[in-house]
Amino acid sequence: MAEWKLDAGQILGWIEACLDLGITSFDHADIYGGYTVEALFGQALALRPALRQRMQLVSKCGIRLQHPNRPAHALKSYDTSAAHVRASVEASLRALGTDYLDLLLIHRPDALMDPDELAAAFSALRAEGKVRHFGVSNHGTGPFHAIHRRIPLVTHQIEFSPLQMRALADGTLDQATDLGLRPMIWSPLGGGRVFTGEDEQARRVRAALEAVGHAHGVSVATAAYAWILRHPSRPVPITGTGRVEALREAVKALDVKVSAEQWWSVWQASMGHPVP
Protein backbone atom coordinates (compact mmCIF):
# COMPACT_ATOMS: atom_id res chain seq x y z
CA MET A 1 0.00 0.00 0.00
CA ALA A 2 1.20 3.48 -0.85
CA GLU A 3 0.46 4.98 2.58
CA TRP A 4 -0.83 4.09 6.03
CA LYS A 5 -3.17 6.03 8.28
CA LEU A 6 -3.31 3.34 10.98
CA ASP A 7 -1.26 2.66 14.07
CA ALA A 8 0.85 -0.49 14.49
CA GLY A 9 -1.90 -2.42 16.25
CA GLN A 10 -4.43 -1.63 13.52
CA ILE A 11 -1.95 -2.57 10.81
CA LEU A 12 -1.28 -5.84 12.60
CA GLY A 13 -5.01 -6.55 12.63
CA TRP A 14 -5.13 -5.92 8.88
CA ILE A 15 -2.14 -8.22 8.32
CA GLU A 16 -3.82 -10.99 10.30
CA ALA A 17 -7.06 -10.51 8.36
CA CYS A 18 -5.13 -10.86 5.10
CA LEU A 19 -3.45 -14.05 6.27
CA ASP A 20 -6.78 -15.48 7.41
CA LEU A 21 -8.12 -14.93 3.89
CA GLY A 22 -5.14 -16.72 2.37
CA ILE A 23 -3.43 -13.52 1.22
CA THR A 24 0.20 -14.06 2.14
CA SER A 25 2.21 -11.73 -0.13
CA PHE A 26 2.70 -8.09 0.88
CA ASP A 27 3.90 -5.70 -1.79
CA HIS A 28 6.09 -2.78 -0.74
CA ALA A 29 8.46 -0.27 -2.28
CA ASP A 30 11.10 1.75 -0.52
CA ILE A 31 9.53 5.03 -1.69
CA TYR A 32 5.98 4.36 -0.51
CA GLY A 33 4.71 6.96 1.90
CA GLY A 34 7.84 9.03 1.39
CA TYR A 35 10.09 6.17 2.56
CA THR A 36 7.92 5.46 5.63
CA VAL A 37 5.50 2.60 4.90
CA GLU A 38 7.98 -0.25 5.23
CA ALA A 39 8.91 0.92 8.72
CA LEU A 40 5.25 1.14 9.75
CA PHE A 41 4.66 -2.40 8.49
CA GLY A 42 7.80 -3.52 10.32
CA GLN A 43 6.58 -1.99 13.56
CA ALA A 44 3.31 -3.90 13.23
CA LEU A 45 5.10 -7.14 12.39
CA ALA A 46 7.33 -6.70 15.43
CA LEU A 47 4.21 -7.11 17.59
CA ARG A 48 3.89 -10.71 16.31
CA PRO A 49 7.24 -11.71 14.75
CA ALA A 50 6.11 -15.30 14.15
CA LEU A 51 3.83 -14.07 11.37
CA ARG A 52 6.90 -13.52 9.21
CA GLN A 53 7.01 -17.26 8.53
CA ARG A 54 3.51 -17.15 7.07
CA MET A 55 4.11 -14.39 4.53
CA GLN A 56 6.17 -13.31 1.56
CA LEU A 57 7.61 -9.79 1.69
CA VAL A 58 8.09 -8.02 -1.63
CA SER A 59 9.86 -4.72 -2.10
CA LYS A 60 10.89 -2.53 -5.01
CA CYS A 61 13.81 -0.18 -5.47
CA GLY A 62 15.48 1.83 -8.21
CA ILE A 63 13.64 5.16 -7.90
CA ARG A 64 15.52 7.99 -6.25
CA LEU A 65 12.62 10.07 -5.02
CA GLN A 66 13.23 13.72 -4.14
CA HIS A 67 11.95 13.83 -0.57
CA PRO A 68 12.93 15.28 2.83
CA ASN A 69 13.59 11.70 4.00
CA ARG A 70 16.28 11.42 1.31
CA PRO A 71 17.99 14.83 1.31
CA ALA A 72 20.83 13.54 -0.86
CA HIS A 73 18.45 13.09 -3.80
CA ALA A 74 18.71 16.31 -5.80
CA LEU A 75 16.03 15.27 -8.30
CA LYS A 76 13.76 12.36 -9.06
CA SER A 77 15.67 9.82 -11.12
CA TYR A 78 16.27 6.11 -11.61
CA ASP A 79 19.27 4.21 -10.29
CA THR A 80 19.99 0.51 -10.79
CA SER A 81 23.65 0.67 -9.85
CA ALA A 82 24.87 -2.09 -7.57
CA ALA A 83 25.56 0.43 -4.82
CA HIS A 84 22.04 1.87 -4.90
CA VAL A 85 20.33 -1.52 -5.09
CA ARG A 86 22.36 -2.84 -2.16
CA ALA A 87 21.76 0.28 -0.06
CA SER A 88 18.03 0.09 -0.82
CA VAL A 89 17.83 -3.57 0.19
CA GLU A 90 19.68 -2.93 3.44
CA ALA A 91 17.32 -0.04 4.24
CA SER A 92 14.23 -2.15 3.47
CA LEU A 93 15.47 -5.01 5.64
CA ARG A 94 16.02 -2.63 8.56
CA ALA A 95 12.64 -0.96 8.09
CA LEU A 96 10.71 -4.21 7.78
CA GLY A 97 12.60 -5.84 10.63
CA THR A 98 13.46 -8.94 8.63
CA ASP A 99 16.63 -10.75 7.59
CA TYR A 100 15.54 -11.32 3.99
CA LEU A 101 13.14 -10.27 1.25
CA ASP A 102 11.25 -12.99 -0.56
CA LEU A 103 11.21 -10.90 -3.72
CA LEU A 104 12.96 -7.74 -4.89
CA LEU A 105 11.80 -5.84 -7.96
CA ILE A 106 13.46 -3.06 -9.93
CA HIS A 107 10.72 -0.46 -9.81
CA ARG A 108 11.21 1.32 -13.15
CA PRO A 109 13.43 0.79 -16.22
CA ASP A 110 16.69 2.72 -15.94
CA ALA A 111 18.13 4.01 -19.22
CA LEU A 112 21.59 3.75 -17.64
CA MET A 113 21.12 0.18 -16.40
CA ASP A 114 24.12 -2.08 -16.82
CA PRO A 115 22.50 -5.54 -16.87
CA ASP A 116 25.76 -7.29 -16.01
CA GLU A 117 26.31 -5.09 -12.96
CA LEU A 118 22.69 -5.52 -11.86
CA ALA A 119 22.80 -9.30 -12.29
CA ALA A 120 26.02 -9.45 -10.26
CA ALA A 121 24.36 -7.41 -7.49
CA PHE A 122 21.37 -9.75 -7.51
CA SER A 123 23.63 -12.80 -7.33
CA ALA A 124 25.54 -11.35 -4.38
CA LEU A 125 22.37 -10.48 -2.48
CA ARG A 126 21.05 -13.99 -3.03
CA ALA A 127 24.33 -15.59 -1.93
CA GLU A 128 24.20 -13.53 1.26
CA GLY A 129 20.66 -14.73 1.95
CA LYS A 130 19.23 -11.20 1.83
CA VAL A 131 16.96 -11.66 -1.20
CA ARG A 132 15.51 -14.97 -2.37
CA HIS A 133 14.02 -14.03 -5.75
CA PHE A 134 14.14 -11.15 -8.22
CA GLY A 135 11.90 -9.48 -10.77
CA VAL A 136 11.13 -6.14 -12.36
CA SER A 137 8.24 -3.72 -12.50
CA ASN A 138 7.00 -1.60 -15.41
CA HIS A 139 9.70 -2.73 -17.82
CA GLY A 140 9.45 -3.37 -21.53
CA THR A 141 10.05 -6.83 -22.94
CA GLY A 142 13.57 -5.88 -24.07
CA PRO A 143 14.90 -4.70 -20.70
CA PHE A 144 13.18 -7.65 -19.04
CA HIS A 145 14.96 -10.08 -21.35
CA ALA A 146 18.31 -8.32 -20.90
CA ILE A 147 18.19 -9.05 -17.16
CA HIS A 148 16.43 -12.41 -17.34
CA ARG A 149 19.03 -13.99 -19.61
CA ARG A 150 21.73 -13.10 -17.08
CA ILE A 151 19.91 -14.08 -13.92
CA PRO A 152 16.46 -15.72 -13.75
CA LEU A 153 13.61 -13.39 -12.86
CA VAL A 154 10.42 -14.80 -11.38
CA THR A 155 7.85 -12.10 -12.20
CA HIS A 156 7.09 -8.80 -13.90
CA GLN A 157 4.84 -6.36 -12.05
CA ILE A 158 2.75 -4.40 -14.54
CA GLU A 159 -0.36 -2.27 -14.82
CA PHE A 160 -3.32 -4.19 -16.24
CA SER A 161 -7.05 -3.80 -15.82
CA PRO A 162 -10.26 -3.76 -17.84
CA LEU A 163 -9.50 -0.05 -18.34
CA GLN A 164 -5.77 -0.38 -19.13
CA MET A 165 -4.95 -3.09 -21.64
CA ARG A 166 -1.61 -1.93 -22.98
CA ALA A 167 0.06 -5.10 -21.70
CA LEU A 168 -2.10 -7.14 -24.08
CA ALA A 169 -0.77 -5.24 -27.08
CA ASP A 170 2.88 -4.58 -26.26
CA GLY A 171 3.97 -8.17 -25.76
CA THR A 172 4.37 -7.98 -21.99
CA LEU A 173 1.71 -10.56 -21.16
CA ASP A 174 2.74 -12.70 -24.14
CA GLN A 175 6.28 -12.79 -22.75
CA ALA A 176 5.03 -13.74 -19.28
CA THR A 177 2.93 -16.56 -20.74
CA ASP A 178 5.78 -17.81 -22.90
CA LEU A 179 8.25 -17.87 -20.01
CA GLY A 180 5.77 -19.27 -17.51
CA LEU A 181 6.35 -16.35 -15.13
CA ARG A 182 3.19 -15.16 -13.44
CA PRO A 183 2.90 -11.36 -13.72
CA MET A 184 1.94 -9.24 -10.72
CA ILE A 185 -0.82 -6.76 -11.57
CA TRP A 186 -1.01 -3.29 -10.06
CA SER A 187 -4.09 -1.06 -10.29
CA PRO A 188 -6.36 -3.98 -11.28
CA LEU A 189 -9.44 -1.82 -10.70
CA GLY A 190 -8.10 1.12 -12.68
CA GLY A 191 -7.47 3.20 -9.59
CA GLY A 192 -11.16 2.93 -8.72
CA ARG A 193 -12.36 4.11 -12.14
CA VAL A 194 -14.34 0.90 -12.63
CA PHE A 195 -16.62 2.15 -9.84
CA THR A 196 -16.57 5.94 -10.16
CA GLY A 197 -15.30 6.86 -13.62
CA GLU A 198 -17.73 9.00 -15.59
CA ASP A 199 -15.89 8.95 -18.91
CA GLU A 200 -17.37 6.87 -21.73
CA GLN A 201 -14.84 4.05 -21.45
CA ALA A 202 -15.40 3.65 -17.71
CA ARG A 203 -19.17 3.60 -18.14
CA ARG A 204 -19.00 0.95 -20.87
CA VAL A 205 -16.63 -1.22 -18.86
CA ARG A 206 -18.69 -0.87 -15.69
CA ALA A 207 -21.81 -2.00 -17.55
CA ALA A 208 -19.96 -4.98 -19.01
CA LEU A 209 -18.56 -5.97 -15.62
CA GLU A 210 -22.00 -5.59 -14.05
CA ALA A 211 -23.32 -8.07 -16.63
CA VAL A 212 -20.51 -10.53 -15.87
CA GLY A 213 -21.01 -10.06 -12.15
CA HIS A 214 -24.77 -10.61 -12.46
CA ALA A 215 -24.18 -13.84 -14.38
CA HIS A 216 -21.96 -15.15 -11.59
CA GLY A 217 -23.70 -13.54 -8.61
CA VAL A 218 -20.70 -11.40 -7.66
CA SER A 219 -19.80 -7.72 -7.40
CA VAL A 220 -18.25 -5.53 -10.09
CA ALA A 221 -14.94 -5.68 -8.23
CA THR A 222 -14.98 -9.47 -8.10
CA ALA A 223 -15.89 -9.61 -11.80
CA ALA A 224 -12.95 -7.31 -12.62
CA TYR A 225 -10.51 -9.49 -10.71
CA ALA A 226 -11.95 -12.62 -12.32
CA TRP A 227 -11.55 -11.02 -15.77
CA ILE A 228 -7.85 -10.46 -15.05
CA LEU A 229 -7.40 -13.97 -13.67
CA ARG A 230 -8.84 -15.41 -16.91
CA HIS A 231 -5.65 -14.54 -18.81
CA PRO A 232 -3.41 -17.59 -19.46
CA SER A 233 -0.36 -15.89 -17.93
CA ARG A 234 -2.06 -16.59 -14.56
CA PRO A 235 -1.78 -13.03 -13.21
CA VAL A 236 -1.49 -12.21 -9.51
CA PRO A 237 -3.49 -9.02 -8.81
CA ILE A 238 -2.35 -6.61 -6.10
CA THR A 239 -5.37 -5.25 -4.26
CA GLY A 240 -3.87 -2.13 -2.69
CA THR A 241 -6.76 -1.82 -0.24
CA GLY A 242 -6.97 -1.51 3.51
CA ARG A 243 -10.61 -2.63 3.61
CA VAL A 244 -11.13 -6.25 4.60
CA GLU A 245 -14.42 -6.44 2.70
CA ALA A 246 -12.61 -5.39 -0.48
CA LEU A 247 -10.07 -8.13 0.16
CA ARG A 248 -12.89 -10.66 0.42
CA GLU A 249 -14.23 -9.49 -2.95
CA ALA A 250 -10.81 -10.04 -4.47
CA VAL A 251 -10.39 -13.51 -3.02
CA LYS A 252 -13.86 -14.51 -4.20
CA ALA A 253 -12.68 -14.05 -7.79
CA LEU A 254 -10.65 -17.24 -7.42
CA ASP A 255 -13.93 -19.16 -7.58
CA VAL A 256 -15.30 -17.34 -10.64
CA LYS A 257 -14.63 -18.74 -14.11
CA VAL A 258 -15.18 -16.05 -16.72
CA SER A 259 -16.06 -17.50 -20.10
CA ALA A 260 -14.13 -16.49 -23.21
CA GLU A 261 -17.20 -14.67 -24.53
CA GLN A 262 -17.59 -12.76 -21.26
CA TRP A 263 -13.90 -11.88 -21.32
CA TRP A 264 -14.19 -10.50 -24.85
CA SER A 265 -17.33 -8.55 -23.93
CA VAL A 266 -15.28 -6.60 -21.38
CA TRP A 267 -12.44 -6.16 -23.88
CA GLN A 268 -14.91 -4.78 -26.43
CA ALA A 269 -16.38 -2.40 -23.87
CA SER A 270 -12.94 -1.09 -23.01
CA MET A 271 -11.81 -0.71 -26.61
CA GLY A 272 -15.10 0.73 -27.78
CA HIS A 273 -15.27 -1.54 -30.83
CA PRO A 274 -15.52 -5.24 -31.70
CA VAL A 275 -12.45 -7.30 -32.49
CA PRO A 276 -11.14 -6.60 -36.04
Question: Is 78 tagged catalytic?
Answer: no
Catalytic residue among 32, 35, 78, 225: 32
- C-alpha Rg value of the chain to the nearest Å: 19
Which residues make Cβ contacts (< 8 Å) with residue 223, sequence separation at least 6? Answer: 209, 210, 212, 213, 216, 253, 256, 258
Residues known to be catalytic: 32
